[in-house]
């Protein structure tokens, strides 16, 4: 999955204007998705939320989020992995991949070289987040 995110990032234009930063917008989209997935965490409530794959696209705070995910074909990308990884884990993975690719430690010759953020994320990742299939509380 990291390689897929790296490819999407690398295929985006590097041309910057005052109103346009394709790579920055892409990274922001993925980080925002992960953030809005886990920001609903509540210790004292019946449904604790957190990284559970539930994002309320109708919440005004999430305006444009679904559009940017669809623009970059993230739902289609997930369809390639849905039988192997939960949506909850996938959202965390793509956000980590976006951070790793845009980080100054990124190495095109060896993305997982010792000391790179990609290597640290890969080696420290814990699978097992459960996707809330209903999200009825959200």
Distance CA 25, CA 22 (A): 5
Q: Give the pLDDT score at 38.
A: 87
Domain boundaries, the chain: 2-9+22-124
Distance CA 112, CA 4 (A): 14
Q: Give the pLDDT score at 50.
A: 76
Q: What is the mean pLDDT of residues 61-77?
A: 96
Q: Give the pLDDT score at 133.
A: 83
pTM for this predicted structure? 0.90
């Amino acid at each position: 999955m990291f390689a897929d995110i790296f490819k999407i990032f690398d295929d985006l234009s590097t041309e910057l204007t005052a109103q346009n930063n394709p790579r920055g917008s892409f990274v922001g989209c993925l980080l925002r998705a992960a953030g809005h997935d886990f920001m609903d965490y509540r210790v004292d409530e019946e449904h604790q939320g957190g990284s559970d794959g539930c994002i309320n696209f109708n919440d005004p705070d999430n305006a444009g989020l679904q559009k940017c995910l669809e623009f970059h074909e993230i739902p289609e990308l997930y369809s390639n992995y849905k039988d192997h990884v939960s949506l909850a884990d996938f959202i965390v993975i793509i956000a980590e991949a976006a951070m790793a690719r845009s980080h100054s430690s990124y190495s095109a010759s060896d993305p997982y070289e010792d000391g790179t953020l990609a290597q640290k994320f890969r080696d420290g990742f814990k699978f097992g987040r459960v996707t809330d299939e209903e999200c009825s509380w959200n």
